[in-house]
Structure 1
Amino acid sequence: MAGAAASPGATSTPLDADAVRRARLRAHRLLRPDLPGLPAVVGHLLAVQGQEFFPALWGAVRRVAPGARPDAAASVAAFDAGAVLRTHVLRPTWHLVRPDDARWLLELTAARVLRTTASTERGHGIADPARCLDAVTDLVAAGPLTRAEVKDGLVARGLLAPDATGFEVGQVLMTAELHRAVISGPLRGRQHTYAAFDDRVPPGYGPLGERFDRDAALVELWRGYLRGRAWATVRDAAQWSGLTLTELRRGLGLLREAAPGAVVDAPGTGALEGLTLHGLAEVVGAGPDGVPGAAPDDGGPGVDLLQGYDELFVGYGPSRLVVRDPVAGEEPLAPRPALLHVLAVDGLVAGRWRWTAGPRRLDVATAWARPASPAEEAALAARAAEAAAWWGLELRVE
C-alpha cells in the first residue's frame, strides 16, 4: 500500500461531549443492542479487554439482541469451543478476540507489548521468560493445561524454581502468548487453561489473507476500532492499541487512501475543545436530529452494570472524559477496590457495583456517586435482575 498520508476527510459539525457520548453508545451497541451473539460482539469491537472474565462476558452479551442473548453457561460454552479466545494483545493485559483476528493483531502489536513487559520483568528480577518458550510449547502440545500444570512442567524441567511466584509464571505464559505459542483453552471448572496456538487459531491472517502486511493491518485496525467506537482521536487509538502516534497517523492516512470519503473529521467543542475526532462515515452519519452520530433518547434512563474495563471506558484516551457525570464527581473512573465495576446512566458514570456469584444466589452491591431518581433505581433493579437471570441464579441486592 502507498505510504503517503492522504488529505483529511470532510470536516463535520463541531462535536460536544454529549453528541460524542451518544454516538458511542450507538456504535457500541449499548443504546440499541442488535448483534447476533458473543462472537459477533467481539468481532464488532475487534478486541474486548478481558482480565475480569465473567464481567467481560456479561458486558459483551449486553450488546447482543435481547432475543438472542446467551446466558452465562452458553457464553462459556462458546468460549470453550474457541468461538472467542482470550490472550495478551494490544497492551499488557488480556483481551477477548475472534480466532480470525488473533494472529494478525498479535503480529501487529506483540513486539511493543514485549518491550513494555521487559522493563517490568527486570524490575522484579525475573530472567528472560522466553527461555521457557520451547518448553511451554512442548507441554501444551498434548492438550490444554492450567497455569499450575504448566508451572509443574517447567519446574520438572529445571526451568523454574519450585517457589517461583505466580507473577513469574504469569510472565512466562504471557510471553508465550505474545510469541503465538499458546492461547486460551477451555475452562476447567473455573480455572483457565492454555492451549497450543495453532490448535485454536486458523492459518493465515484473517481479513488480511495468507500474508501479513503491516500497512494493511493498520488499515484494518482503524476500521475495526472506529466501527465499534464512533468518534475518536489518534491519541485515543494509541491508548487503546499500544501503537505509536506516528504509526497510527500513517495508518489513518492509508485508510483514507484505500477508501476515499470513508473517514470524516470533526473538531471538538466544549470539554473536547482542541481535539480532532475521526469517525467512519457509515457509523457516525447524521442522526435523526441532524447531529452527527446523535441518537434520540429511548424514553427512560438507560442504566448499565458494566465491567470497569468495558470498552466504553477503556477504549479511549483523552476523550474518554465524555462519560464523566458532572454531578457524580471529577474522577468517576478512579479505582475502588470493593466496587470495581461501573454503574452508568445513559453512558455517564454514576456509581460503582460488584457481584458475587454463589451456588444459588447472585449478590449485587451498588453505590451511587450522586442521588438517584426513582426511575433510575427501578432501572437499576431491572438490570440487576437481568444479570441474575444471565447467571441463572436468584438475586439479592445489597
Structure 2
Amino acid sequence: MPTPTRDLTPAAVAAWRARSQRLWGERLATPWDAFEHLAAVQSQEYQPSKLTPAMRAKPDGDGLAYAGAGGVDALIEQGRVLRTHVLRTTWHTVPAADLRMLIAASGDRVMQVIVNGSRGIGIDLRTHERATEALAAATAGGRHLTREEAGEALEAAGIAGASGQRLGHLLMHAEVSAVICSGDPKDGKQTYASFDERVPAGTIGKDEAIRELARRFFASRGPATVKDFTRWATLKVADAKAAVDELKLGGSGLRELRYDDRVFYYEGERPEPEDGGPVVDFVQ
C-alpha cells in the first residue's frame, strides 16, 4: 500500500502537475519534444491547439516556439505529427509514430461510441463499413482529400448524405479503423490521406499499447489517478489497473502516493515547493 502523504495540498498537486506537463519549470527543447512527451494533444480547434506544444518548448530565435522550421505547422506539413480522432471522439494531434499505439489502446472503445452515436443520425454499421472501404480506395496512391472532396468521393461510391454531421461520423469511423488520417494541408485546409501511407509500419497488441500509454500519461500528467487515466483515454478501469500493476512490477519508474483517500501515480521526484506568490497561467 502507498504511504499516506499528509503534507500535500490541492495547490501543491496542481503545481506538481504543471511541472510534469512542462508548463512550469524547465521547458522542452522543441515543440516536437512536447508532442512526444504528451503523446496526444487535444486539438478541436487547430490554431489555438498549436499553443499547447509551444508553451512547453523553448522559444526559437523569433521568440515563437510554434513558428519556424521546427514549429507545429512544419511538423504537420512534414507528417511527423498527425491530427485525427483518437482516444475520444475529439480531435488530437499526435506523433505519427504513436498513432498505431493510441488506436490499439482504446480504439475499440472509441469505435463503440462512434457507432452508437451514428445510429441516431441514420448510419448503420454496414454504411460505416462501405464508407470506410470507399475512403480507403479514394485516398490510395498518395491522394490527399479535403473534407469536401472526401464527401464527394463517398457520394460517388453510392453513399448518400455524405455531408455535415453524417460526413463527420463516417470520417471518424475510418480514422479509428486505421484507414485514414490527416494528410498534407491544402490551401489552408486539413486533408485526409491513407493511414498506412502516413503512419510508420508496425504492430502492437492492446495490452502493450495500454502499458505504454499509461507510462506516458503518468510521466506527463502525474500525479494522477487510474480514474484520471481511464477518462482521458476511454479505457476500462480493469485494463488501466492491469497496465499500472504491470508497470510497477516491471521497474518502469512509476511511483505512487496516497492523498485525499486516493492513490496517485507519477514518475520522477516530487518537486520542491514553489516560492513566491500566486501564479496565473493561460493554459491551452
TM-based fold match above 0.5: yes
What corresponds to 1:147 in structure 2?
147
Q: Percent identical across equivalent pairs?
A: 33
Give matches, 1:255-270, under 5 Å: 255-259=247-251, 262-268=254-260
Matches within 5 A, 1:220-369: 220-259=212-251, 262-268=254-260, 274-280=261-267, 282=268, 285-288=269-272, 294=273, 296-297=274-275, 302-307=279-284
Give the distance between the partners of 1:71 and 1:225, measured in 2 at CA.
Answer: 23
Deviations 1:137-156 (A, max 9, x none): 11111411101001111111
Structure 1, gaps ≥5 residues long: 1-7, 205-210, 269-273, 289-293, 308-398
Q: Is the 8 A contact 1:58 1:72 kept in 2?
A: no
CA distance in 1, matches of 2:42, 2:96: 15
* Structure 1 counterpart of 2:188: 190
Q: How far, CA to CA, are the matches of 1:10 and 1:251 in structure 2?
A: 21
**Given the alignment of the two structures, is residue 131 of structure 1 paired with residue 130 of structure 2, yes or no?**
yes
Contact 1:9 1:261 in 2 (8 A): no
Amino acid at match of 2:176: L
Q: Which residue of 1 aligns with 2:16?
A: 23
| Residues 182 and 195 in structure 1, CA contact (< 8 A), matched pair in contact too | yes
- Equivalent-residue separation in structure 1 for 2:159 and 2:191 (angstroms): 20
Structure 1 distance, partners of 2:196, 2:225, is 35
1:71 CA drift (Å): 3.7
2:114: which partner in 1?
117
Structure 2 unaligned segments of length 5 or more: list them: none
Deviations 1:203-253 (A, max 9, x none): 11xxxxxx4233322221111001111211111111101001111111111
Give the distance between the partners of 1:167 and 1:265, measured in 2 at CA: 44
Post-superposition CA distance 1:91-112 (Å, at most 9, x none): 1111111111101110121110
Query: Distance in 1 between the 2:121 and 2:7 partners?
Result: 47
1 CA distance for matches of 2:210 and 2:220?
Answer: 16
CA distance in 1: counterparts of 2:59 and 2:107, whole angstroms: 36
CA distance in 2, matches of 1:84, 1:305: 24
**Which residue does 2:36 correspond to in 1?**
43
Match of 2:27 in 1: 34
RMSD: 2.0
Aligned ranges for residues 367-386 of structure 1 at < 5 Å?
none
SS in 1 for 2:48: helix
Number of residue equivalences: 277
CA deviations on 1:309-336 (whole Å, 9 max, x unpaired) are xxxxxxxxxxxxxxxxxxxxxxxxxxxx
Give 4+ residue runs of structure 1 displaced > 6 Å after superposition: none
- Cα offsets for 1:34-86 (capped at 9, x unmatched): 11222211110111111111111112211101347434464212111112111
Q: 1:12·1:264 contact (CA, 8 Å) conserved in 2?
A: no
Partner of 1:219: 211
Aligned to 2:200: 202
Contact 1:49–1:93 under 8 Å retained in 2: yes
Between the aligned partners of 1:257 and 1:275, the Cα distance in structure 2 is 20
How many Å apart are 1:287 and its aligned residue?
2.8
Counterparts of 2:92 and 2:98, CA distance in 1: 11
Aligned equivalents of 1:103 and 1:41: distance in 2?
19
TM-score, normalised relative to structure 2: 0.90
